[in-house]
């Protein structure tokens, strides 16, 4: 004779076994992500040690005004605040997904005035009006045998990690934009200074030409040429002044301030040092670029989403319970005789849903393929950016050296011509002509120095801008499940 515990266990196991058998009606066969993650070695990244930028890399400029702009931008910039809000939203979604793994407890109190039917279970009460009262504590717990809720939670955690990396990517981009705008403002101010010197030189040259025309030593053609150059330089000065105002306004916008906050900002290009930066493509770049890290976490979230969609093909098993009071009328509602309670399992099984579950799994698989492709594209773009930034930085160094050689030669020529003029062996017009060449080379030097600083900032951003991922999911094949 079978013992009662065995009979009871068999009674409970039978529905679960039947449910598992019926679950075979809905198949996941043939639906899975097909894309593969690109590995760093495939793009030429090497396992070498490289000195990456520091978190506060802008401190290397040794400019207190620039430090203040960074501090303000990282606090008040609206775009960064949007990224921070998205991070908080993702964290809230993690909490929401995690709640599905925990028991639920609620209370329900109701009082319904009802006329009972003569043909229902309330025969003696038929055609009469009564209050149907209940006060219950209700609890439930989804056991998550097949991991659907756990995978949904892991997907939400992946999205939260991605949002955190995206917030850091926004910081890096903002810092790079502030630095680039600051360097551009310093360049414009330096160019304006060179143009002011050029204007004085051209006005002096014009006066000399006019004196020589009156003395019959020059023709009016030379005078007209000299007259045309002065307004051209003044036009360039006016255009540069507008550009300086716009550059200051851009810095104000990047730092979340009004134009008056940067109206008097006047950085000096000569005081901003260039930096010593790495010239290799290390494999560790994938953990130093916040956009790569974000894309990798999105892949992780998408793969967990696939697992959750696959788990949806299996039954949901819930434990439900209630306890409280239930009675007709108020006189005995809360007495011992009105107590009621119950507990038991509940199974929910998808048997036929018109292909909805397969469509959902197919969609999640496609989403995972898209996330993997996005990651691969982000990695390729990152390697491209670093390679371009390194090439540009190396080239600008050579151009600066060549420009300096040309400037040294022009300044030597200017000294010789000036000596000849003072010795009465040359006229001053020759001196001014050589001085014009020196001024042009000085302006070219300003542009090259600013370009070198801009290339430094571009390489810092390409190398991650000081970001370092605290944790990264391992590089696993996309087909794993």
Q: DSSP string of 232-290? A: HHHHHHHHHHHHHHHHHHHHHHHTT--GGGGTT----GGGPPP-----S-BGGGGGT-H
Cα–Cα dist 476/470, whole Å: 19
8 A C-beta contact, residue 160 and residue 94: yes
Please answer whether residues 230 and 51 qualify as being in contact, where contact means their C-beta atoms are separated by less than 8 angstroms: no
Q: pLDDT tens digits, residue range 282-306?
A: 888 888 899 999 999 999 999 999 9
Comparing 340 with 206, the larger pLDDT belongs to 340
Contacts of 153 (CB under 8 A, 6+ apart): 94, 97, 98, 100, 101
Encoding tokens for residue 59?
């401190």
Lowest mean pLDDT across 41-45, 191-195, 307-311: 41-45
pLDDT the model gives residue 46 = 80
pLDDT at 204: 81
How far apart CA 75 and CA 17 sit, in angstroms, is 58
pLDDT digit string (tens) for 44-53? 888 877 788 8
- What pLDDT score does 18 carry? 53
All domains in the chain, ordered by first residue? 30-101+144-315+350-462 (1.20.1600.10), 104-143+316-349 (2.20.200.10)
């Amino acid at each position: 004779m079978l013992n009662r515990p065995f009979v009871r266990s068999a009674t409970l196991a039978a529905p679960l076994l039947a449910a598992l058998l019926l679950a075979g009606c809905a198949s996941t066969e043939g639906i899975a992500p097909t894309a593969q993650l690109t590995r760093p070695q495939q793009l030429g990244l090497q396992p070498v040690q490289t000195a990456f930028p520091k978190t506060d890399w802008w401190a290397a400029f040794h400019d207190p005004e620039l430090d203040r702009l960074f501090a303000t931008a990282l606090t008040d910039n609206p775009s960064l605040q949007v990224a921070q809000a998205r991070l908080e939203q993702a964290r809230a979604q993690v909490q929401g997904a995690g709640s599905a793994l925990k028991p639920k407890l609620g209370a329900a109190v109701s009082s319904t005035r009802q006329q009972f039917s003569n043909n229902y279970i309330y025969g003696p009460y038929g055609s009469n009006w009564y209050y149907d009262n209940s006060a219950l504590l209700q609890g439930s717990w989804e056991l998550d045998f097949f991991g659907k809720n756990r995978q949904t939670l892991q997907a939400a955690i992946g999205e939260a990690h991605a949002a955190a990396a995206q917030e850091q990517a926004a910081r890096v981009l903002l810092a790079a934009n502030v630095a680039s705008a600051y360097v551009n403002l310093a360049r414009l101010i330096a160019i304006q200074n060179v143009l002011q010197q050029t204007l004085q030189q051209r006005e002096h040259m014009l006066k000399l030409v006019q004196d020589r025309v009156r003395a019959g030593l020059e023709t009016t053609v030379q005078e007209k040429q000299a007259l045309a150059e002065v307004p051209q330089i003044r036009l360039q000065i006016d255009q540069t002044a507008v550009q300086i105002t716009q550059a200051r306004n851009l810095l104000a916008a990047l730092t979340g301030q009004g134009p008056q906050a940067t109206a008097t900002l006047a950085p000096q290009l000569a005081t901003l040092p260039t930096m010593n930066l790495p010239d290799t493509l290390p494999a560790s770049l994938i953990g130093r670029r916040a956009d790569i890290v974000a894309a990798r976490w999105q892949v992780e979230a998408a793969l967990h989403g696939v697992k959750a969609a696959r788990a949806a093909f299996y039954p949901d098993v819930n434990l439900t319970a209630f306890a409280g009071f239930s009675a007709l009328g108020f006189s005995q509602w809360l007495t011992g005789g009105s107590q009621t309670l119950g507990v038991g399992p509940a199974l929910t099984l998808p048997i036929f849903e018109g292909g909805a579950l397969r469509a959902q799994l197919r969609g999640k698989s496609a989403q995972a393929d898209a996330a993997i492709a996005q990651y691969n594209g982000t990695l390729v773009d990152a390697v491209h950016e670093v390679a371009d930034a390194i090439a540009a930085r190396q080239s600008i160094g050579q151009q600066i050296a060549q420009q300096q050689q040309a400037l040294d030669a022009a300044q030597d020529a200017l000294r010789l011509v000036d000596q000849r003029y003072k010795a009465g062996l040359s006229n001053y017009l020759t001196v001014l002509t050589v001085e014009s060449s020196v001024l042009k080379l000085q302006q070219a030097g300003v542009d090259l120095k600013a370009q070198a600083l801009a290339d430094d900032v571009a390489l810092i951003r390409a190398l991650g801008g000081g970001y370092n991922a605290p944790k990264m999911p391992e590089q696993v094949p996309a087909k794993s499940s």
